[in-house]
Structure 1
Amino acid sequence: MNMEESQTRKRKRRKPKKKRAFKIIMGIIVLLILGVGAYAYSVWHSVEKTFTQTHEPLKRDVSEKRSEKVSFSDKDPISILLLGVDQRAGDRGRSDSLILMTVNPKDQSMKMVSIPRDTRTEIVGKGTTDKINHAYAFGGVDMAVNTVEKFLDVPVDYYVQVNMESFKDIVDAVGGVTVNNDLDFNYDGYSFKKGKLTLDGKEALAYSRMRKEDPRGDFGRQLRQRQIIEGVIEEGASVQSLANYGNILDAIGTNVRTNLTFDDMKQIQSNYKDARHNVEQLQVDGQGEKINGIYYYAVSDATRQELSAKLKDHLNVK
């Protein structure tokens, strides 16, 4: 059995725990939306300026899978696509992390679907079938949103994109993070020993990227990513970090893009925040396969339809 097949079987067996569910992009959305209310009144103009900078609308106003735009004041259920993009100088990059989050404020619940980046599907607007994370490389966030919509057959109302290459700036802005490492490894010129580690931004980025040396593969990397973002949230809530809010806002303004406006975020913070206490992870079951020597993660139509039905019910759409 090769490593890819082993990882696929582990993926099918392993059920993520709710308390450990927050991946790196989820942490960013918490910082962006749910955390805005904590200090918005004292630094209102700086916060507003930052989130004006992060605003980048999609080419469309409303998803074709909706008859009208959602209303925050009416507490309509919403969906948000979270993209972690590995973007470097001179390269648009690929969406290394794809998570669709649905939020229903009326029953105060959230569902999260982490889509494996190697998932084989139609790339909407490209006319090809490829790995789903290639959609961003081919056509940016618009193509990524449209492709995820087609794959899951649900509307994607909003997106939040984070540049993972520059995520180190956010870590440095909160003064570094502390993690408990469970695996000795070397990566990108750094040596990470077992035990409690305090990492600066560059070290944290390397720590969260390693995959091939970990016998757990992508699962191990996802664990380290969650550790980093949990550390960011913990440090970001400290008095010292609040005193350093200027650098934190600068880092967010540089590294985050979203079609949510500042007013949208205020309304979500006001009307949707209680949903964060009830988070359910939905798993995309599938199996690895090779086509022309290239590895893909294959998801059956039946699995997609079952997952789609759960999301549609949560979003109150047909």
Structure 2
Amino acid sequence: MEANKGGKIRYKIIAIVVLLFIIAGAYAFSMYGKFKETINEMHEPIERERSEQRENELSLGKGEPISFLLIGVDERKNDRGRADSLIVVTLNPKEQSIKMLSIPRDTRTAIVGKGKEDKINHSYAFGGVEMTIATVEQFLHIPIDYYIKVNMEGFKDIVDAVGGVTVSNPFAFNYEGESFPKGEITLDGDRALKYTRMRYDDPRGDFGRQDRQKQVIAAIIKKGASLSSLVNYSDILEAIGKNVRTNMTFDEMKQIQANYKEARHHIEQLQMQGKGQKMNGIYYFIVPEEEREMISNQLKKHLNIGL
């Protein structure tokens, strides 16, 4: 399904554009110093120099296809938490296209470094960002060049910083003491977080919840990229600096914004097919090998990696 079809997919490049579009607006308003300070605060490198799935060093200057892993983490006090959301994004500037894949959090796969199979989102609880990246790479057989980790508990700060968001709710539901009627609704930070967390009363389960997360992120992008919201840029930057971490440097972000922004003209959302199954009383999402291989091949082709 192409992501330019339907309102639920107007979010362009999810959290990456939240960062890059706001950065682009910053240059126009000469706020370079404050943005650089925020990006430096967000910067959290990982130990490896490059993915083992890449034979050669990635060159942003040459406009080579790149990949990101968006990790939405439910972190509580004194608890590392688990990956609440895993979204793989690949950008091919030559084709001017983006592919996005949401990996269901309950997907059963081998956890790199643990020697056992488990839910893919548990990789974060076991070994943080690096184990999560390694596990996703092994699952899809593609490189992950960059990660962007968003603290979902602090997600509400970002929503409040842009002055709240408006979304179109597909069906009415109640969650954690809040009522969410069907239709257009306006959310502050607390309500937005609850809106994106509800899963069990959604007829589409985790897939429906992922769509609601994308709705809210789309609304953040729309307001964050607008001129009117830039008057609150200090609050926006403070919220992003506190709740977002990435291995991208400030210079790498500048290169990506300059050389890859045209990829936004064609966005395709991939959905991984599978079925739920209980094992020893625990629910897993089982992806058939042929399905995993098909998705892997699509992403490899988009990244110009030999099949």
TM-score between the two structures when normalised by the length of structure 2 = 0.93
Give the distance between the partners of 2:271 and 2:251, measured in 1 at CA.
32
Check if 1:238 corresponds to 2:239. Answer: no
Partner of 1:268: 256
Aligned residues with identical type, % of pairs: 57
> In the TM superposition, what is the alpha-carbon distance from 1:126 to its structure 2 partner?
1.1
Change (3 A) 1:210 1:314: same
Check if 1:131 corresponds to 2:119. Answer: yes
Equivalent residue in structure 1 for 2:24, among 14, 37, 40 = 37
Q: Retained in 2: the 8 A contact 1:81–1:145?
A: yes
Which stretch shows the higher mean deviation, 258-267 or 34-43?
34-43
The Cα offsets for residues 203-240 of structure 1, whole Å up to 9 and x where unpaired, read as 11111111222233223322322221222122223333
TM-score between the two structures when normalised by the length of structure 1 = 0.90
Equivalent residue in structure 2 for 1:154, among 142, 148, 167 = 142
Equivalent residue in structure 2 for 1:278, among 262, 266, 288 = 266
> In the TM superposition, what is the alpha-carbon distance from 1:265 to its structure 2 partner?
0.5
Equivalent residue in structure 1 for 2:289, among 293, 298, 301 = 301
Equivalent residue in structure 2 for 1:118, among 106, 112, 117 = 106
> Unaligned stretches of 5+ in structure 1?
1-14
Change (3 A) 1:256 1:312: same
Give the distance between the partners of 2:13 and 2:200, measured in 1 at CA.
24
> Unaligned stretches of 5+ in structure 2?
none
Within a 5 Å distance, the mapping from 1:164-243 to structure 2 comes to 164-243=152-231
Partner of 1:28: 15
- What secondary structure does 1:165 align onto? coil
Change (3 A) 1:117 1:24: farther
- What secondary structure does 1:68 align onto? coil
Give the aligned length: 304
Partner of 2:77: 89
Q: Retained in 2: the 8 A contact 1:23–1:222?
A: no
The Cα offsets for residues 136-189 of structure 1, whole Å up to 9 and x where unpaired, read as 110000000000000001111111110011000000000111122232222122
Partner of 1:7: none
Structure 1 residue runs of 4+, over 3 Å off?
15-26
Change (3 A) 1:156 1:150: same
- What secondary structure does 1:238 align onto? coil
Q: Retained in 1: the 8 A contact 2:93–2:259?
A: yes
Q: Retained in 2: the 8 A contact 1:23–1:229?
A: no
Give the distance between the partners of 1:197 and 1:312, measured in 2 at CA.
39
Give the distance between the partners of 2:138 and 2:12, measured in 1 at CA.
22
